[in-house]
Amino acid sequence: MLLYLLLAILQTNINGQIDPAHCRYPLGMEDGRIKNDDITASSQWYETTGPQYARLNREEGDGAWCPAGQLQPSDVQYLQLDLRQLIFLTVVATQGRYARNSGNEYARKYRLEYSRDGRRWISWRNRLGSEIIMGNINTYDSVVRDLHPPIITRFLRLIPVTDAIHTVCMRVELFGCAWQDGLTAYSSPEGQTMMAPGYPITPLNDSTYDGALERRKLSGGLGQLTDGVIGQDDFAQRRMYRLWPGYDYVGWRNESLGPGFVEMEFQFDRQRNFTSVKIHSNNMFSRGVKIFASVSCAFKLHLISEWEAEPVEFHTVLDDRNPSARYVTVPLKHRSASALRCRFYFADTWMMFSEISFQSATNVLPTQRPPVLTPPSYEVNSEVSDTTQITEDRTTPSKTGSPEEGSTSILIGCLVTIILLLVVIIFLILWCQYVCKVLEKAPRRILEEEVTVRLSSSSDTIILQTPPVPPRVSLDPPYERIFLLDPQYQDPAALRNKLPELSQSAEASACSGGYAEPDVTLCTPHQCFQSSVPHYAETDIISLQGVTGSNMYAVPALTVDSLTRKDISVAEFPRERLLFREKLGEGQFGEVHLCEAEGLAEFLGEGAPLPEQDGRPVLVAVKQLRADATSNARNDFLKEIKIMSRLNNPNIIQLLCVCVSSDPLCMVTEYMENGDLNMFLSQRELESTLTHANNIPSVSIADLLHMSVQISSGMKYLASLNFVHRDLATRNCLLDRHLTIKISDFGMSRNLYSSDYYRIQGRAVLPIRWMAWESILLGKFTTASDVWAFGVTLWEIFTLCKEQPYSLLSDEQVIENTGEFFRNQGRQIFLSAPPLCPSSLFEQMMRCWSRDIVDRPSFNRLYQALRTFAPHS
């Protein structure tokens, strides 16, 4: 239960675009997670054919639910399920009444009605408008039907349909996943039809919208923008389901709307803290379609309150070179709201969206506590066709709890939960002790059973279900154990014990060959700290620290205490001589300012690492710790200063001086005029005659290679000192006025990039898309995991930072993919070769993502290899 609760917390943070191909978990009819109380019916033939017997593959009672009497064609009898929370429902499986070969009834056809609030019921229709779903042809086979479009709902009714008079009985299972977005409705102007000479007529309406359409405005429903299907680059092409061109998109024409923007309102199930919204937009500029130029979102705390005065505004970088449809991520600055109103401003004649997804955490407990839908503990992919019988494997619990009315019952519920929690913790501790002993004796088995992940190939007909293996010994899902919520996760050594293969093969190289790191696994942290080699390459970070923006490089926990101001060997600069110019960024720790530093050149003396002045004032970047920082944050800040003061390399940001004799603590570094590499590249195109002729900012492949060489050089230097960066990415590489790259660590100091980080509530903030599998699964950060991140950074560079790594995977799926990297059974998803990237360079990237760290190249080798690609570097 503890793990379920923790997983619930995790789930509130795992918010990405939903992928219907993977959202196919059994919801709990078969295994009983859907409780009898939540299964009702309009009628039942006998007590023994009541709704509680409508569980797929089960044979209790008389073996199925059967409505009273014989079903007439005009009858509406239904089986109703309350899923207790909003679910993205993708698949329905039905069976007839087998009753150990004595049953004879089944539903040949059925239809569905659903309701998100229990009041308004909506009839489901497929994409071509048909309500009827073909059901069973005998009493025993499960017939599995994909729902196109999927349904976002809490309540579902299955209504058997008959052409003649029949007795019908049904058993069912539903498949899907929790609807994390929490979006319950959006409203927008009605989509329009594009008619252009020489092109097919392209209706861009929201054809699956389930709300109301009045006076050309959609309201109160969900539709194509939340069906998990993203549109193609060329919207005019037909896609699956024999649909019409433009089907995937909802589109609007600028002039027809008057104000130059499309206004959409979004309503949520409860108050949430929003980090971002991702809008999948078409960009076929040759046909007058572009992503929006800017967006302004207003927030409402409660549905009945006023819109707050201060909207969040965001300007996009328009792109009329690359016609690919893309996700545009709009940061929402952690604003709390239960409704948003966003105005998307046109950049061209048309704007077309195919999907909108919100990333948020729920920050207010609902008055009715929704149960937690957790993923099954393990599953394999079983490719089933639309009429395949589902295997009889057991699935594990995924749903707990029920709603309680009123505060007394909530209180009682809480108390009972706490007591049960305590009992389960004690049980788990005892159990753990027992199982750990067993595991020591049976390492291979636990390896296979525990390391189970859910992401797999994206077929339309994959159901994620339990594998045909003997029941597991474990009570808690391995998903949690292997992933971030493992209570033992903080102690990678413990997990290593449980995964002995790791320590023998994949991990071995971290401690020996390949990298010049001291083998700290062979000594206590204290001994290592005392060794003469710089000691920051941690093969054994005790606690998983996140990236905070005030941690520059990884430092064993021990050093934190050992730092004092006295250790800082960099000069104290009089703070009154720092003249504020502008704010460069801000983050949790404080702010980064651009300042003029009066007399800094004289202060630092000959040979100071300052750019030529040409009579201009010296500009510096000043990172300032916020006044109310905790003592931990202060410690980290001082620690960062100490580490930076030891670094001196042309490709590493240079600390110039500090102001630490009074508050607020400041560190002063060189100012990099061209900002960060991510921003720099995302605003540029690949050099061509076109970019030259039109004065479009561009970069050449040679520039990209030169950048890569510089980063590898900086990292080679860090690795030679056994420093582990832990957050290498283009956002953390800065460019000076000559386009020299310097590695820095200000990722989190700018909220701009917060969607690159995955936040575990109350714990670490992790750049999961850049992290090696062993960093995510074991909390293990080494130079070899920096090499992995370097591979991702190369990938970013050669995609010109136009896309986030694994942009089609949600954060949860990225973590799942990590498990596939560990298992190495060929199911891991690699970043694909960027079109601009020479194949030999992509091979280097792939080496960086080797499962075994001995197989990853060292920075020295990468540097040498990259130099051969870029001979002038």
Between 621 and 728, CB nearer to ligand ADE: 621
User: What single-letter amino acid sits at 520?
Assistant: V
Cα 507 to Cα 856: distance, rounded to the nearest angstrom: 12
State the nearest-atom distance from the C-beta of 671 to ligand ADE, in Å: 5
| Dihedral angle computed from the Cα positions of residues 667, 668, 672 and 676, in that order, rounded to the nearest 10 degrees | 10
Per-residue burial over 108-124, b if 16 or more Cβ lie within 10 Å, else e, is: bbbbbbbbbeeeebbeb
Binding site for ligand ADE (CB under 6 A): 584-585, 592, 621, 653, 669, 671-672, 675, 734, 746
* Of residues 582, 752, 552, 587, the one with CA closest to residue 673: 582
Q: How far is the CB of 585 from ligand ADE (least distance, A)?
A: 5
* Alpha carbons 406 and 419: distance in angstroms, whole number: 20
215 phi/psi in degrees, rounded to 5:
45, 50
Q: Which residue number, 267 or 548, has a Cβ lying nearer to ligand ADE?
A: 548
CB of 516 to ligand ADE, least distance (A): 28
Contact assessment for residue 518 and residue 724, using Cβ atoms and an 8 Å cutoff? no
Measured over the CA atoms of residue 738, residue 740, residue 746 and residue 752, the dihedral's sign is: positive
* Nearer residue to ligand ADE within complex by CB, 584 or 719: 584
* Integer angstrom CA distances of residue 208 from 128, 211, 247, 275: 9, 9, 10, 27
Least distance in angstroms from the C-beta of 686 to ligand ADE: 25
Do residues 159 and 77 lie in contact, with contact meaning Cβ atoms separated by under 8 Å?
yes
Residue with tokens 């000479």: 197
Paired strand residues for 758: 766
Look up 727 and say whether it is catalytic. yes
Report the interhelical angle of 783-798 vs 701-720 (nearest 10°): 170
- Shortest Cβ distance from residue 674 to ligand ADE (Å)? 8
Residue at token pair 């061109």: 245
Q: Which of residues 247 and 671 has its CB atom nearest to ligand ADE in the complex?
A: 671
> Would you list the DSSP string of 384-423?
--TTPPPP-------B------HHHHHHHHHHHHHHHHHH
Which is nearer to ligand ADE, 514 or 549 (by Cβ)? 549
Beta bridge partners of 619: 596
HEC letters along 178-232: ECCCCEEEEEEECCCEECCCCCCCEECCCCCCCCEEECCEEEEECCHHHCCCCCC
Residue nearer to ligand ADE on the CB measure, 475 or 608: 608
Nearest residue (CB) to ligand ADE, 255 versus 582: 582
Which position has the token pair 């209570």? 487
Say if residues 776 and 815 touch (Cβ distance below 8 Å): yes
DSSP 30: S
- State the minimum distance, in angstroms, from the CB of residue 656 to ligand ADE: 10
Comparison of 106 and 671: residue with beta carbon closer to ligand ADE: 671
Number of H helices, E strands in the chain: 20, 32
Nearer to ligand ADE, 25 or 553 (CB): 553
Query: At its nearest, how many Å lie between ligand ADE and the CB of residue 618?
Result: 13
CB 621 → ligand ADE: shortest distance, Å?
A: 3
Nearest-approach distance from CB 223 to ligand ADE, in angstroms: 41
Residue 424: CB minimum distance to ligand ADE, A = 46
**Are 749 and 585 in contact, with CB atoms under 8 Å apart?**
yes
Between residues 539 and 669, which has the closer beta carbon with respect to ligand ADE? 669
Contacts of 308 (CB under 8 A, 6+ apart): 298, 299, 300, 301, 337
What's the 3-state SS for 494-544?
A: HHHHHCHHHHHHHCHHHHCCCCCCCCHHHCCHHHHHHCCCCCCCCCCCCCC
State the residue for tokens 């074991």.
778
Q: How far is the CB of 655 from ligand ADE (least distance, A)?
A: 10
Catalytic residue chosen out of the listed positions 206, 248, 636, 727: 727
101-104: list long-range contacts, CB under 8 Å, 24+ apart: 102/63, 103/62, 103/63, 103/64, 103/139, 103/169, 104/139, 104/167
- Closer Cβ to ligand ADE, 465 or 678, answer by number: 678
Instruction: Please count the other Cβ atoms lying within 10 Å of the Cβ belonging to residue 329.
Output: 21
Q: From the CB of 746, what's the least distance to ligand ADE, in Å?
A: 4
Minimum CB distance to ligand ADE, residue 586 (Å): 10
Quick one: 496 or 742, whose CB is closer to ligand ADE?
742
DSSP per-residue string spanning 297-366: EEEESSTTSPPPS--EEEE----SS----EEEEEEEEEEEEEEEEEEEEPSSSEEEEEEEEEEEEE-S--
- What crossing angle do the helices spanning 2-13 and 406-441 adopt, rounded to 10°? 100
C-alpha 853/C-alpha 296 separation (Å) is 45
Please say which residue, 196 or 579, places its beta carbon nearer to ligand ADE: 579
Please give the structure tokens belonging to residue 768.
């999961």
Strand, coil or helix: 771: coil
Contact 696, 714 (CB under 8 A): no
Strand partners, 218: 188, 213
In the structure encoding, which two tokens stand for residue 484, read together? 């971030």
Report which residue's Cβ sits closest to ligand ADE: 621
Q: Which two tokens stand for residue 510?
A: 């971290």
Q: Which residues are catalytic?
A: 727
